A = this chain, B = another copy of it.
Amino acid sequence: MRLSKRTEYGLRAIVQLAKLWPTHYVQSRDLSKQENLPNKFLESILLALRRGGFLESKVGSGGGYRLSRAPREIVVGDVIRRLEGRLSARDTSTPRDTSPGEIAVHLINNRLTDATDKVLDNITLEELLEEVGRQGGSQQEMYYI
């Protein structure tokens, strides 16, 4: 499974903002330059993040975006779920008089979303930044608790 570009760009932007926190507002234009992202596309993503309550914005000269709270208080899973429309599309309804195949699929789906949620809800922006600082944890799989 792979994250959409929208989510990827959003993550990259918010990581930059986390690095610069709590210094003041960064403009979307600068963000798209730093991470080399399509300007207008990024704008809409930043807007979604603001609506999600992760960012604060300020219009006018000297305006821009910044995190609305400390990186340690922002859970990566919340950010990603906001951007990735379909993620966490857990079937709330448990079908009863359906075929075994459908039940099986339902079951697999739930386990998958469970597992991904567990991963994503277990890391904050601050922790993510720390791990990135260690060059991706010496690029090995020593992760998972």
Interface residues of A (CB under 8 A from B): 1-3, 8, 11-13, 15-16, 19, 34-36, 76, 80, 86-87, 89, 94, 96, 99-116, 118-120, 128-129, 131-132, 135-137, 139, 141, 143-144
Chain B residues whose C-beta falls within 8 Å of the C-beta of A108 in the assembled complex = 3, 11, 76, 80, 120, 128
A135 to chain B, nearest CB (A): 8
Q: Pick the 3 closest A-B CB pairs, nearest first.
A: A12-B101, A94-B139, A115-B115
Contact of A1 among B76, B96, B102, B113 (CB under 8 A): B113
Give bound CA distance, A132 to B111, whole Å: 13
Report whether B109 and A2 are in contact in the complex, using a CB–CB cutoff of 8 Å: yes
